[in-house]
Amino acid sequence: MEPFLWLLFSAGGVLSALLIPALLFLFGLAFPLGWVSPPDHAHLSAVLSHPVTRVALLGLCVLALFHWAHRFRYALYDGLQLKHLERAITLFCYGGALTGSAVAGYFLLAVP
């Protein structure tokens, strides 16, 4: 089980480091400040309604949440030396990642 969690941690870190800053730059700075012309609503809606885009965004959300969960677990477990709460920390971190993944899946796949 531990190698699988390290795989999710690594994949989430790489994708988060590559994609989230680019998305934040585009939608947080470049489009609002007029540096780049933003896509019109119809085009953006068409892109976001495509199933491949939704699955890619779901994958980014899931991997980012598991990256957070693994990093936070070891920050509490090793960094703060809360070894006596290992089961509760693991349940909180990975349970939170699973819950967040389910919510993201609902909003990205079930809501039209």
pLDDT over 70 percentage in the chain? 100
Q: What is the pTM of this model?
A: 0.83
pLDDT at residue 110 in the model: 87
pLDDT tens figures, 22-48: 999 999 999 999 999 999 999 999 999
Confidence of residue 6 (pLDDT cuts 50, 70, 90): confident
Tokens linked to 61: 């959300």
Question: What's the CATH fold of domain 2-110?
Answer: 3 helical TM bundles of succinate and fumarate reductases (1.20.1300)
Banded pLDDT at 91 (limits 50, 70, 90): very high
pLDDT value of position 105: 95
To 5 degrees, how large is the angle CA 80–CA 85–CA 86?
90
